[in-house]
């Protein structure tokens, strides 16, 4: 990989770049000859008396569309080996990895759009499309400036401190840790003691921990892609324990309802308890910090079966042989009706729970989205009860009794027949898992 030496900007407003190219590190890089930036007004390549670069869209619609001729003609004058980039809201998001990649190209060209966008045929003449984010501006010039600055500061010798790019946000897949400078105390807020301790290893660990915290809280999408080290996993576990102690809800329970549920034909029935449901949802509940896992059935023999299974692992030799299984099955409880579960939680937690029902088929009822529910749960002070149904899902009376109905789990196909064990695991992970946050 080489080093970027030349940037071409194709724009209808080259004068917008005058001040930008003269200032700060970019101006110095240009003055030192480390980089050349060439502005190309593609209106100069337009034909006709008025040198028009845009026209009305075929099929009707508002605004004007950039014609393919002038911009493509300008692109064809660029030196061989130039990577041609279209700046458009429809492009792949521009990020630090893209900046680093472009810094290794010998030449790049940034095409700035205007009006309602580009004629679709222009796309065949560029190498890639980049977007600055999910918003709309008057044109691509500001986006081009952002790309130029992000790329240029990665070039050798541009920054005085060669280590700066490696420590900044996104360089290691994380947001940067908090920074402090003098004074040590400002309006009652002091610099964290560890940063003035002089203990370099403690400072390094604190900074990594805070970078993980900030990324988890503000950009969980980045954290989901992180190649976490053993230390990262340890620090994230610390942060999770800390967050769990300080955020709502204070208690989360899970209920697996065997009545009232629907049969395939639509009538209300009671289903049988299965051994797999007892074990697997108990293990998922234990993983995500659930307070209790309630199996709801009006059939006394079925409740006795559940209690016998749990006791086998808790009181017999099996509990000592497989302690992890016993740890999960301690969460198991039984109830004759869902209302009994609500009353148990009310008695133990001092407040009635927020009941959130789940269903693969809402049957016309309004639902709450995953992100919205996560936000609500983070601020919720009441207990929360997640309700899952067996058979063909919760009956209407159970859905109508809930405070909220969660939107169905959906994949890229129209198949939507997950087992309740899988649905419970997916739901708990999306709501309380590390990647979900």
pLDDT at residue number 217: 82
Q: Are 299 and 253 in contact (CB under 8 A)?
A: no
Give the span between the Cα atoms of 164 and 171, in whole angstroms: 10
Report pLDDT for 250: 74
Please work out, in degrees rounded to the nearest 5, the angle formed at the alpha carbon of residue 49 by the alpha carbons of 48 and 51: 65
pTM for this predicted structure? 0.68
Name the architecture of domain 6-152.
3-Layer(aba) Sandwich (3.40)
Domain ranges of the chain: 6-152, 185-246, 252-432
E strands in 35-179: 36-41, 54-55, 65-66, 83-93, 107-112, 128-131
pLDDT on residue 168: 59
- Cα–Cα distance for residue pair 256/421, rounded to 1 Å: 10
Domain 252-432 top-level CATH class: alpha beta
From edge to edge, which strands make up the β-sheet containing 252-257? 332-335, 292-296, 252-257, 384-389, 354-358, 404-406
The pLDDT of residue 315: 86
The CATH code belonging to domain 185-246 is 1.10.1270.20
At 424, is the secondary structure helix, strand, or coil?
helix
d(CA 40, CA 26): 19
Domains 185-246 and 252-432 share a fold: no
Tokens of 222: 């980045």
pLDDT at 434: 76
Q: Per-block average pLDDT, block size 10, for the chain (437 residues)?
A: 88 97 92 94 95 94 94 98 97 95 97 93 98 93 98 89 60 88 95 96 96 89 89 91 67 97 97 98 96 98 97 79 91 98 96 97 96 88 96 97 97 94 97 72
Cβ-contact 198, 190 below 8 angstroms: no
Q: Let me know: does 367 contact 406? Beta carbons within 8 Å.
A: yes
End-to-end CA distance of the chain: 37
Residue 157 pLDDT: 87
């Amino acid at each position: 990989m080489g080093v970027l030496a030349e940037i071409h900007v194709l724009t209808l407003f080259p004068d917008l770049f005058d001040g930008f190219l003269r200032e700060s590190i970019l101006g110095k890089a240009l003055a030192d000859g480390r980089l050349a930036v060439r502005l190309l007004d593609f209106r100069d390549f337009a034909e006709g008396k008025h040198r028009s670069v845009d026209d009305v869209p075929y099929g009707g619609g508002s605004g004007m569309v950039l014609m393919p001729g002038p911009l493509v003609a300008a692109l064809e004058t660029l030196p061989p080996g130039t990577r041609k980039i279209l700046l458009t809201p429809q492009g792949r998001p521009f990020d630090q990895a893209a900046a680093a990649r472009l810094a290794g190209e010998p030449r790049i060209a940034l095409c700035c759009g205007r009006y309602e966008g580009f004629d679709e045929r222009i796309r065949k003449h560029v190498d890639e499309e980049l977007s600055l984010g999910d918003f709309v501006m008057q044109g691509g010039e500001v986006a081009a400036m952002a790309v130029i600055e992000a790329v240029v500061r990665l070039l050798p010798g541009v920054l005085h401190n060669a280590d700066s790019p490696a420590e900044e946000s996104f360089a290691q897949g994380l947001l940067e840790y908090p920074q402090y400078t003098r004074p040590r105390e400002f309006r009652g807020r002091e610099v964290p003691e560890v940063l003035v301790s002089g203990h370099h290893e403690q400072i390094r660990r604190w900074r990594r921990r805070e970078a993980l915290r900030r990324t988890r809280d503000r950009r969980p999408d980045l954290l989901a892609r992180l190649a976490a080290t053993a230390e990262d996993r340890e620090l994230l576990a610390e942060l999770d324990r800390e967050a769990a102690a300080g955020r709502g809800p204070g208690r989360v329970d899970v209920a697996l309802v065997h009545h009232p549920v629907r049969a395939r034909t639509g009538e209300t029935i009671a289903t049988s308890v299965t051994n797999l449901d007892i074990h697997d949802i108990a293990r998922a509940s234990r993983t995500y910090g659930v307070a209790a896992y309630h199996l709801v059935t009006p059939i006394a023999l079925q409740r006795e079966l559940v209690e016998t299974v749990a006791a086998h692992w808790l009181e017999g030799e099996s509990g000592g042989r497989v302690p992890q299984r016993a740890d999960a099955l301690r969460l198991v409880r039984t109830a004759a009706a869902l209302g009994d579960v609500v009353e148990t939680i009310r008695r133990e937690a001092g407040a009635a729970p927020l009941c959130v029902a789940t269903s693969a088929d809402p049957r016309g009822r309004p639902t709450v989205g995953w992100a919205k529910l996560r936000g609500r749960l983070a601020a919720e002070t009441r207990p929360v009860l997640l309700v899952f149904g067996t058979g063909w899902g919760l009956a209407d009376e159970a859905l109508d009794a809930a405070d909220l109905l969660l939107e169905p789990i959906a994949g890229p196909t129209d198949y939507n027949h997950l087992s309740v064990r899988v649905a419970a695991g997916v739901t708990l992970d999306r709501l309380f898992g590390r990647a979900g946050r």
